[in-house]
């Protein structure tokens, strides 16, 4: 049976070149970076070289990069440090953030009494800038703003220039979950002065279980994990050397072909949109995912004009992998908190599916998916 993978926003297939880097590191660089003998020093050297190379991609210094087990840990490390270490009393976010942020905010509110406020988003999932300004000017408490650069479900791009300018105007710290953006979009942290960002290697053809947090220089970091003095005391745990090297290579490969890959994925996405409209003119698209300059090249969230809670499962039986989005979706008990927030109630029972692309996706796979959707609908 033909297999088509259109769930790259969940995870991407690891690049064979990256697999080779990881394998070689596991075989020849197995030392503990904390050890003082030559094996340890060799491992320490490649980890620090990877840190430097990753930092250069974002135009920051190596000391500002902290390796983690992925985006969720990085978000937690940043948000918890904001409250316990940086004197933040209030966090502003949105209700369509990733659960790595939303669930952490719930914890901080219950555990520390942190004031949590949510900026309004419109029916397309865009932040209400006027409301955000009113929230920023409405309190003198030290505030952190947490908004993701690319929404993982609907693909909306955050207007970074505008948000950074607002944070500067109101002396507000800015954290952005950039997990869906890194490896697909440029991010110069001197041009966009974000205080904290997060990354996860498996979103850009790297290994799972490794990522990083960026803390702008000048912010001390208290660890969440205790037991050692790794990562300059910010994260106790023996560094995952082979995965860090895999992440470094995956990021380099992504950055080297970033513009070319983005243009290619946008061409695929546009073709998919056109074919879906031909399939049924009542098909619409959630968020801004249909608009190429307002959404990620990797994500298209489709609202089908049917109440078919088995459509996603049926696609899987045809060899097509994608992700669900509606409250009645097969395989999802709670549905999408993002779509529940932005869709009118009458559309929330309709079937929404997130298709997401990578540089490996082909036009033939798109056409195959269209044909199967035609049969199933």
Catalogue the active-site residues. Answer: 328
Distance, CA of 122 to CA of 203 (rounded, Å): 27
* 231 secondary structure, DSSP code: G
For residue 170, how many C-alpha atoms fall within 13 Å in the half-sphere facing its CB?
Answer: 23
| b (16+ CB within 10 A) / e for 192-228 | bebbbbbbbbbbbbbbbbbbbbbbbeeeebebeeeee
Measured at the CA of 208, the angle between CA 204 and CA 211, to 5 degrees, comes to 70
SS3 (DSSP) at 191: coil
Q: Do 12 and 251 form a contact (C-beta atoms < 8 A)?
A: no
Pair 75, 222: CB distance under 8 Å: no
Nearest Cα neighbor of 360 from 2, 12, 101, 29 is 12
Beta strands in the chain (DSSP E): 4-5, 65-68, 90-93, 115-118, 143-146, 173-176, 196-200, 211-215, 284-285, 299-303, 320-321, 323-324, 352-356
Question: For residues 140 and 258, is the Cβ–Cβ distance under 8 A?
Answer: no
The helix/strand/coil state of 44 is helix
Burial class, 310, CB count within 10 angstroms (exposed 0-12 / middle 13-18 / buried 19+): middle
For CA atoms 133, 135, 138, 141, the dihedral sign is negative
User: CA angle at residue 101 from 212 to 234, to 5 degrees?
Assistant: 35
Closest CA to 22 of 211, 236, 184, 242: 242
Element (H, E) at 72: helix 71-84
Give me 376's structure tokens: 């199933």
214 bridge partner residues: 65, 197
Chain mean position to CA 262: 16
DSSP state of 127: B
């Amino acid at each position: 049976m033909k297999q088509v993978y259109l769930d790259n926003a969940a995870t991407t297939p690891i690049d064979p070149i990256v697999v080779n880097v990881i394998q070689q590191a596991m075989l020849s660089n197995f030392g503990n970076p904390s050890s003082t003998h030559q094996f340890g020093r060799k491992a320490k050297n490649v980890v620090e070289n990877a840190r430097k190379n990753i930092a250069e991609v974002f135009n920051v210094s190596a000391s500002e990069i902290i390796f983690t087990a992925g985006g969720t840990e990085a978000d937690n490390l940043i948000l918890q440090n904001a409250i316990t270490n940086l004197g933040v009393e209030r966090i502003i976010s949105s209700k369509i953030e990733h659960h790595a942020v939303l669930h952490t905010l719930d914890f901080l509110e219950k555990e520390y009494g942190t004031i949590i406020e949510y900026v309004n988003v419109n029916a397309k999932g865009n932040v209400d800038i006027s409301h955000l300004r009113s929230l920023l000017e409405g309190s003198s408490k030290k505030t952190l703003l947490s908004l993701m650069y690319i929404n993982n479900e609907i693909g909306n791009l955050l207007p970074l220039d505008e948000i950074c300018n607002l944070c500067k105007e109101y002396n507000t710290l800015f954290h952005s979950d950039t997990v869906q953006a890194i490896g697909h979009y440029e991010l110069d942290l001197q041009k966009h002065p974000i205080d904290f960002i997060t990354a996860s290697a498996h979103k850009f053809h790297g290994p799972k279980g490794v990522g990083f947090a960026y803390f702008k220089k000048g912010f001390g970091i208290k660890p969440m994990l205790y037991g050692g003095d790794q990562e300059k005391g910010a994260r106790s745990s023996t560094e995952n050397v082979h995965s860090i090297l895999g992440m470094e290579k995956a990021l380099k490969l992504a950055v080297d072909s970033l513009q070319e890959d983005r243009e290619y994925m946008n061409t695929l996405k546009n073709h998919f949109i056109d074919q879906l409209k031909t399939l049924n003119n009542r098909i619409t698209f959630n968020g801004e995912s249909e608009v190429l300059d307002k959404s990620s090249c990797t994500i298209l969230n489709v609202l089908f004009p049917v109440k078919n809670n088995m459509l996603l499962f049926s696609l899987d039986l045809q060899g097509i992998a994608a992700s669900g989005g509606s409250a009645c979706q097969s395989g999802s008990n709670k549905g999408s908190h993002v779509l529940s927030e932005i869709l009118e109630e009458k559309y929330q029972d309709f079937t929404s599916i997130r298709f997401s692309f990578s540089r490996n996706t082909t036009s033939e796979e798109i056409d195959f998916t269209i044909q199967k959707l035609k049969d199933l609908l």
